[in-house]
Amino acid sequence: MKLFEYMGKALFARYGVVVPRGKMVSTPQEAVSAAQEITGEVVVKSQILSGKRGKGGGIAFASTPEQAGEAAAKILGSTVQGFVVESVLVEEKLKIDKELYLAITIDGSAKKPVLIASASGGMDIEEVPEENIVKYHIDVFQGLQAYATREISRRMGLTGAVSKEFNKLLIILYKLFREKDAELVEINPLVISGERLIAADAKVTVDDEALFRQKDLPHVEERTEAEQKAHAIGLSYVQLDGNIAVMANGAGITMGTLDIIQHYGGKAANFLDAGGGTGEEGTAMALEILLSRNPRVILINIFGGITRCDDVANALVKVKNRKGIPVPVIIRLVGTNEDLGVKILKENGFEAYKMMHEAAAMAVKLAG
């Protein structure tokens, strides 16, 4: 579960991490009031579960409360990185001497937490050369020791009071990481302002399987409406940004379908694994979810084992008769009860393909 920036900063503050003065608001009028309380120049930041907000037009600076209200009016309701902005964080504009990067996450290969730090923080951290990034794997039995924080600080080139503050911050951040069952705790940028270190941003992701013991954390629903509907009926669905709706029966074949769509120059609108044995009614509900996203084409890729081809065909006919299907449907159908499934499809105006690449090529052609 990802936390919004303002939630992450509230959590940071509880642990003693210095964060800017700020307030989350949802209207331009509230933004004006928040800026008046803060006094001085402010930053208006969209609250979405995504990075690259600055490049996406989701962050604005304001010198007066009136400008803060105007910035909020522009950002609220806009779409930034594919998310509709429903709230903004109004906070003080910091005096920045230098920007650092700091994070703790899980290294799956090493099976340990790894601390990642760099003296080059900011929007383009992904482009920082590997040699300029410090990585330190943490032994969960020993924890993060003082000698390790001093070594990390030295490798970062930090000295004096800033180095001491940085060492303290590392200990605090790891304590938060452990106690809140986090998968990621990230500060980018971590601002040096005089002798102070300030978390100018906050990303916190908590392990979903540990939420039962994190009662004091706010619940954030990350799924889109379509993803929630699919989850409710036990299907694996992830919304993407293409125009070809995809349904297949198994995670591997679904990924393969997405790959072959891209191979032919198309873009998938989603990942939908209908799984084995979904049945006629479940398949029909899955198709209705796909239609709700208004794709240009629907591509169904079924290699029937547990899934019966006649169930898939009957589900498609049921949706056609119940609601209508206003877009082309390309279906590859092979496996259990294949002959019966193909017969049902042909009787109702659908053509079935035997080869996945032929179906994908046709879907891309029609979508384009």
- Distance, in Å, from the CA atom of 233 to the CA atom of 228, rounded to the nearest integer, reads 9
Token couple for 130: 């590997």
Handedness of CA 228, 229, 235, 239 (dihedral sign): negative
Does residue 236 contact residue 258 with C-beta atoms inside 8 Å? no
The secondary structure of residue 208, as a DSSP letter, is G
> In angstroms, what CA-CA distances link 281 with 28, 128, 291, 311, 315?
46, 50, 15, 9, 7
CATH architecture of 21-92: 2-Layer Sandwich (3.30)
Amino acid (1-letter code) at residue 295: P
pLDDT of residue 122: 74
The 10s digit of each residue's pLDDT in 111-151 is 999 999 999 877 667 778 888 899 999 999 999 999 999 99
pLDDT of residue 324: 87
Does residue 3 contact residue 220 with C-beta atoms inside 8 Å? yes
Q: What pTM was computed for the model?
A: 0.70
> Which of 298, 252, 294 lies closest to 273, judged by CA?
252
Active site residue 209: no
pLDDT of residue 134: 95
Q: Where are the alpha helices (DSSP H) in the chain?
A: 5-15, 28-38, 65-75, 146-156, 160-179, 225-232, 251-263, 279-292, 309-322, 338-347, 356-367
Torsion of CA 324, 329, 332, 335, to 10 degrees: 0
- Choosing from 101, 136, 174, 237, the catalytic residue is 101
Preceding omega of 189 cis (within 30 degrees of 0): yes
- Choosing from 99, 165, 186, 338, the catalytic residue is 186
Tens digit of pLDDT at every position of the chain (368 positions) = 899 999 999 999 999 999 999 999 999 999 999 999 998 999 999 999 888 888 889 999 999 999 999 999 999 999 888 788 999 999 999 999 999 999 999 999 999 999 999 998 776 677 788 888 999 999 999 999 999 999 999 999 999 999 999 999 999 999 999 999 999 999 999 999 999 999 999 999 999 899 899 999 988 766 666 777 777 767 788 888 899 999 998 889 999 999 999 999 999 999 988 876 566 777 788 888 888 888 999 999 999 788 889 988 998 998 888 888 899 999 999 998 999 999 999 999 998 999 999 999 999 999 98
**CA atoms within 13 Å, Cβ hemisphere of 215:** 1
pLDDT of residue 133: 92
Q: Which CATH number fits the domain 225-367, given the four candidates 3.40.50.261, 3.40.50.300, 3.30.300.20, 2.40.40.20?
A: 3.40.50.261
- Distance, in Å, from the CA atom of 361 to the CA atom of 176, rounded to the nearest integer, reads 49
- How do the domains of the chain map onto residue ranges? 21-92, 98-213, 225-367
- Distance, in Å, from the CA atom of 98 to the CA atom of 200, rounded to the nearest integer, reads 12
Active site residue 101: yes
- Distance, in Å, from the CA atom of 47 to the CA atom of 34, rounded to the nearest integer, reads 16
Helices 146-156 and 160-179: angle between axes, nearest 10 degrees = 130
171 sits in the region (left: phi over 0; alpha: psi -120 to 50; else beta) called alpha
Could you identify the residue written with the tokens 């290969």? 109
Please count the other Cβ atoms lying within 10 Å of the Cβ belonging to residue 321.
10
Contacts of 331 (CB under 8 A, 6+ apart): 299, 300, 301, 302, 312, 316, 345, 350, 351, 352, 353, 359
98-213 belongs to CATH 3.40.50.1110: no
pLDDT of residue 52: 82
134 sits in the region (left: phi over 0; alpha: psi -120 to 50; else beta) called beta
The secondary structure of residue 244, as a DSSP letter, is E
